[in-house]
Amino acid sequence: MYQNIIEKLSNKYIAILGFGMEGKSTYNFIRKYLPDLKMAILDKNIIEYTPFDKDNNLEFVFGNHYLDDLEKYDLIIKAPGVSLVNRDITNIKDKITSQLELFLEEYAQQTIGVTGTKGKSTTTTLIYEILKKQGNDVYLLGNIGKAIFDDIEKFTSDSIIVIEMSALQLEFVKVSPHIGVIVNLYQDHLDHAGSVKHYHENKLNIFKYQKSNDIGIYPMDNEYLKIYMKNNNYKAKMYTVSLDGDSDIYIKNNYVYFNDKVLYDVNSKRTLIGDYNLENIMFVLFISELFNLDLDLSIKTINNFKTLPHRMEKVGTYNNITYYDDAISTIPEATINAVKALKKVDTLIIGGMDRGVDNTKLIKFLQDTDINNIICMPTTGHKIAKELTKKVYLVDTLEEAVDIAKEKTNPGSICLMSPGASSYEFYKNYIEKGNAYQKLIRE
């Protein structure tokens, strides 16, 4: 069916907007099948890319004015990282598409889409694992780090495609996946989305275009989703998850149930600790039931699943202090959940780029917690420190933070880095920050 995508792109003047991982994937896909098609690469940064050398049907628009003449293109294939939030796109909105939208137009009925503010990578990967372990032809793509077009030639009519979908990917789509999962909604990416409302609307596109034969699932206890779903007019069959409410997938007497069937013992020994991970597991169990998988094998896969890098990842125990890396934590709720899950946190390292997220909940939590050492990094950490009446440590670098943690953390307890904010201010991304933290710990 990817041939239909090629047909849609034929005879069009195409702009590839943003040339990161997904932009390169789009370029390589188009050039493989449409070598003479006129295209343009648009990016704020100057791009050097070897295949360009022999491409005579390619134009480049680099620099601060790369968004100035979008009207002249027939089709704009936008990468997720490019924000158009402060631009008037009235005249070009119908021209904007993406890998995700082009893909869903052909493969929506084979797709499980997972989105949410936090936990979507874990949930997406775990859904992929339970399907794969039971012999399904399944692919893991999207925001998890694999461009959607990269494996497209391998898909058959029996393939199941599991895609992690970010708000940035969902922003302009006009097609939704057959099975849509929203694991939660909080404040995030306000620098890109412009407002909480717009960010949430982007996420909800995963349900917006579903049809009556499609399926959606979401947590009924999430305060934002509770509001959005109260008077929803979505056409799909909707299912709910709750840790303590009257929902479709629920907990009673320490067991997870679906349709009065016992699915899972919540006291099972597993690597994914914490209530928020238990909620993620409930989504995965629902998918297992939906696909009639062997429940015992699904449970085994769930319980043996290793934490993804930089998500409450245990770095190791040094001098009787156990260090955890939760660099993926970019919102206050993630930091709160990590502390609650680990329980024995004596030192907490917080702070990162200020993207306008409200830190009131985190401030109250830290004020009431018995954590002895709160180490505050720029910029949000310094702002939070001003609101706390308890002793805190102000630092400018991660190196300083780790030095204080090594000195002050009580033996037999935990030092946790969970920023509660984006890493972009001083690091390329959360991966770079997490790796830097782990290196400092081990040194």
**pLDDT per position as a tens digit, 59-93:** 999 999 999 999 999 999 999 989 898 889 999 99
Domains identified in the chain, total number:
3
Residues 426 and 320 placed together within one structural domain of the fold: yes
With both helix axes pointing from N to C terminus, report the angle between 360-368 and 380-387 in degrees, rounded to the nearest 10.
60
In what order do the strands lie in the sheet containing 345-350? 313-318, 321-325, 414-417, 345-350, 373-376, 393-394
Give the CATH number of the domain where residue 273 resides: 3.40.1190.10
Least confident segment among 15-19, 243-247, 351-355: 243-247
Are residue 286 and residue 205 in the same domain, yes or no?
Answer: yes
Q: Are residues 279 and 345 in the same domain?
A: no
Residue 154 and residue 126 in one domain: yes
Q: Are 281 and 165 within one domain?
A: yes
Give a yes or no: residue 151 inside a domain: yes
What would the mean pLDDT of 231-239 be, rounded to a whole number? 92
CATH of the domain at 363: 3.90.190.20
Count the helices and strands in the chain (H runs, E runs). Answer: 15, 20
Q: Is the pTM of this model over 0.85?
A: yes
What are the residue ranges of helices labelled H in 409-429? none
In the numeric block, the tokens 């990917």 are attached to 169
Report the C-alpha gap between 326 and 104 in whole angstroms: 32
Would you state the pLDDT for residue 189?
Answer: 60
Listed residues 30, 62, 97: the one ending a domain: 97
Looking up residue 60, the CATH number of its domain turns out to be 3.40.50.720
* Residue 30: domain span: 2-97
Confidence of residue 433 (pLDDT cuts 50, 70, 90): very high
Task: Please determine, for residue 192, whether its predicted confidence score (pLDDT) is greater than 80.
Answer: no
Whether residue 102 lies inside any domain: the answer is no
Provide long-range contacts, Cβ within 8 A and 24+ apart, for 224-230: 224/185, 224/186, 224/200, 225/182, 225/184, 225/185, 228/185, 228/200, 228/204
Q: Are residues 14 and 116 in the same domain?
A: no
pLDDT (average), residues 186-204: 80
**pLDDT for the residue 9:** 98
What is the mean pLDDT of the segment spanning 397-417? 98
> Is 350 contained in some domain?
yes
Mean pLDDT over 138-142 rounds to 97
pLDDT band, residue 229 (cuts 50/70/90):
very high
**Same domain as 274, residue 213:** yes
Residue type, 9: L
Partner residues linked to 373 by β-bridges: 347
In this predicted structure, what is the pLDDT of residue 113? Answer: 98
